[in-house]
Every structure is written in C-alpha cells, then in structure tokens.
Amino acid sequence: MVSNRWSSAFGSLMKRRLFAGSLFGPLVAWKGSAFAQDRPVEGRNYLVLQSRQPTRDASKVEVLEFFAYSCGHCNAFEPVIDAWQKKLPREILFRRIPVAFREDLIIHQKLYFAIETMGLVEQLHHKVFTALHNERRKLDTPDQIGSFVAANGGDHVRLLQVLDSFGVMAKVRQATALATGYAIEGTPSIGVNGRWLTSGSLAGSNSKSLSVAEYLLDLARKGG
C-alpha cells in the first residue's frame, strides 16, 4: 500500500553518485551529487521530525528504510536501495522497517521479522517482492508464508513457530511505533538518525531521496 501522492521516477536510479568526505571515504564528493547546485531544503526535500525518535545504537548514525511488501514502488526500489546500503560504511547502521497501512497487512510485517530472526533476509527478502509482484503469489496466511519459505530453502515448521513469537510481535510493535513517530504516510520513505525524513515525493524521485539521505547522514555525522 502506498500513498497516492508518492511518486516513482526510477529512470536514472543506477546512475546516482554518492557523496564522500571522511564519512564515505573514497566515494564521490557531495558537490558531484544530484543536488550540486541545489542543496536539499528543509520542508521541501526533507522534513524535521517534531519529536526525536529512538535509535538502536547511539554510537552509530542510523538510516531507516520504511517499506511495505505490498508496495509496488518498494518492489521497484528494493534492488537500488539494497545496493546503496551495502556501500555504507560501518559507522552507518541501516535498518529495514516494514509498515502496514491496513490490519490485514500486519502479517507482512511479521513475515519480515520472522525471516530476520531466522537469518534469511539476504536469501528471501527480494524473493518476497518477486513472489507478490511478479508471480502474483498470495502470502496472506501463515500456511502460505510457510510454504513459500520452505520452497526457498527455509524451514516451514520453524517459520510458523517464529511468525507469532513474542520476539516478532515485539518488533512489529516497535516498527509501528517508529512509523508513527516518523509520521509515515507512504512508502518507500527514508528516516535518518531519528531526526529527519525524506521520500520520493519530497525529494522529487526515489533516486533523489537517496541523495537527500546522504546529505542528512553527513549532517548527522557533523552533529547537525
């Protein structure tokens, strides 16, 4: 589910250049990014949260991807943001936060945290998107999800045990609280260090939202 106002302009997603400085080492300098002549503007390209949100590790700068498995924009964006996050330095903590805009989609939040608990995110995360959006497969019930996991090398019985476990349900509540704290209205959205939010509709495209996120990460590192 995605807000109607969320845009998707993915034409040049893979051509984006990363900024550098001491945070990003040998990567391309900020002045070479999409905002070389137009630095991101508060209230237009990103929002400052009214209340600072908790982060997992105070020793790191945190970036959150708010996504929904049911979201077509997230499906298209997934390989791009995944490649982006793998290039982040160790002092940046990247976390995926599944969002449910309807009660019947909470099971997809549980699905993500179940495969995370089982250590299967790298193996299955992109396959969930493929199953839902390319194969038009239903993943609406525990049995459907268990069969999907088993077909992709996981343990059906273990999945069912984890899906409704206390740990997974606690993570679902935490994710929902974060989405509320960040005032998430659509996906994909990117939160930075408990203070800022950007998205495709704010930045102009999902590609540019990553450039804005890089700017905010640098701002956070400098104590902004």
Query: Is 45 inside any structural domain?
Result: yes
Query: Is 110 inside any structural domain?
Result: yes
Query: Is 164 inside any structural domain?
Result: yes
| Contact predicate 61/93, CB 8 Å | yes
CATH number of the domain residue 98 falls in: 3.40.30.10
- Work out the pLDDT band at 138, boundaries 50, 70, 90: very high
Query: Is 42 inside any structural domain?
Result: yes
Query: Is 5 inside any structural domain?
Result: no
pTM: 0.84
Distances (CA, A) of 191 to 46, 114, 118, 119, 127: 10, 23, 25, 24, 24
The pLDDT tens digits for 36-78 are 457 999 999 999 999 999 999 999 999 999 999 999 999 999 9
pLDDT at residue number 113: 99
Query: Is 77 inside any structural domain?
Result: yes
Distance CA 193, CA 136 (A): 35
The pLDDT tens digits for 120-134 are 999 999 999 999 999
The domain tally of the chain equals 1
Q: Which domain holds residue 207?
A: 16-53+60-221
Query: Is 11 inside any structural domain?
Result: no
Query: Is 163 inside any structural domain?
Result: yes
